[in-house]
């Protein structure tokens, strides 16, 4: 079995075929037979897990297990504690409340993206960390917009125990034996039904 981490760059699709003017993964991962678990939109960056282990991929993608995924979002303006509290409690997106999330303001510098985000001298930006346990379409962007702080740049930095670490955009590496073991343990822990 193969297990690989990739730092998906901005502008690349989480699939192997090119589409609508955006390149796919084939130039970054030329080996056949491994596939992404989940996805990142072309305008998002960061950690993507690829594997040929269909059973593990299916369980990791199953929403009932609510595996944590950690995102860093650069947002327009600086969120206050009220906005962060709303993100933690869940926000309404298309008539459904998101699950509770971990949300906090970050104090860090991330190297600029190519192409850079839009810049406005009179509007500051801030980085926040969101840990989600569900995976709705463009969820982070919709959540930050719902509380008045639109996302300008989005990076996934962790999937469960797997960390992006020092991987540069376009770089990849095989998982260690310990990381594979941690993934297998993670997939065995579904959340107890809430009774709702």
The residues annotated as belonging to the active site are 41
Q: Are 34 and 2 in contact (CB under 8 A)?
A: yes
**Burial class of 161 by CB neighbour count within 10 A (0 to 12, 13 to 18, 19+):** middle
Q: Are 76 and 88 in contact (CB under 8 A)?
A: no
Query: Position of tokens 């981490």?
Result: 5
Angle 64-7-115 (CA atoms, 0-180°, nearest 5)?
A: 115
Q: Are 45 and 172 in contact (CB under 8 A)?
A: no
Structure tokens at 188: 């065995």
CA distances from 177 to 1, 116, 150, 174 (A): 11, 37, 39, 9
What is the Cα–Cα distance from 147 to 155, expressed in whole angstroms?
19
């Amino acid at each position: 079995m193969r297990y690989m981490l990739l730092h998906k760059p901005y502008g690349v699709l989480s699939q192997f075929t090119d589409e609508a003017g955006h390149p796919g993964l084939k130039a970054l991962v030329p080996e056949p037979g491994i596939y992404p678990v989940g996805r990142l939109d072309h305008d998002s960056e960061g950690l993507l897990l690829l594997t040929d282990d269909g059973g593990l991929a299916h369980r990791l993608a199953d929403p009932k297990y609510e595996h944590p995924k950690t995102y860093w979002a650069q947002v327009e303006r600086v969120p206050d504690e009220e906005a962060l509290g709303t993100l933690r409690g869940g926000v309404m997106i298309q008539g459904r409340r998101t699950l509770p999330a971990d949300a906090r303001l970050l104090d860090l510098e991330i190297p600029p993206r190519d192409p850079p985000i839009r810049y406005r001298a009179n509007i500051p930006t801030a980085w926040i960390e969101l840990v989600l346990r569900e995976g709705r379409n463009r969820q982070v962007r919709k959540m930050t917009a719902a509380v008045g702080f639109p996302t300008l740049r989005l990076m996934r930095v962790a999937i469960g125990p797997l960390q992006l670490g020092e991987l540069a955009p376009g770089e990849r590496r095989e998982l260690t034996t310990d990381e594979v073991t941690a993934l297998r343990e993670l997939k065995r822990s579904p959340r107890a039904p809430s009774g709702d």
